[in-house]
Chains A and B, each alone.
Chain A
């Protein structure tokens, strides 16, 4: 079965600084990888996804993520954080062998300092 680990529970970053959120997955074949963002009291919104091809994926809101098979990672990055980026971020993995269902990581809460 696939699994996802987000090692950082909380990250605090200053506005304008860069942000990187870590995600490690476990799956025997090539996974389908996703990053979702959840603002307080809201549902989840898809930021970006990786299925195949270019391992550097661009998403909405200035986010990007890089798939590294050798490290089983799919880290999310943003060069310059805005106060509105304060939210919880979830990495997720899907797999055809699992009926295309998503498994979410535990999430990383991002706090943005002025």
Chain B
């Protein structure tokens, strides 16, 4: 059973037209992450929520916003998509911070492939 669900699987938007990507989780994890992965590149962390606390990466453009209305859902809003924003967007969760000694791991969704026309 899918534990981290991303919808839609493929999203096409127009240049400059706002778009929202969604992620839900059934794991009741505290932390939810949004990664951007461009073709043949490493996933790049955009931001994450620890519970309700929002943590933005320093180099994440202002064009990218996020909302977490409750534990289960997290949204990625791209206010004015540009051609350079075409990428796979990966949502991930972890019970606690996944890069540290708490022995946690990231659970990834299957991603949303965003195309910008």
Contact = CB atoms under 8 A, between A and B. Distances in A.
B81 interface: no
Interface of B: 4, 40-45, 48, 55, 90, 92, 96-103, 105-106, 108-111, 113
Nearest to B31: A100
Interface of A: 9, 32, 34, 36, 41-46, 49, 51-52, 90, 92-96, 98-107, 109
B92 to A, nearest CB: 7
Contact of A102 (B101, B106, B113): B106
Given A100-B98, A104-B43, A44 B108 contact: yes
A104 B33 CA distance: 14
B99 A95 contact: yes
A108 to B, nearest CB: 11
A34 B43 CA distance: 14
Contact of B4 (A36, A43, A49, A106): A43
Contacts of B44: 104
Nearest to A46: B105
Contacts of B42: 90, 104-107
A95 B40 contact: no
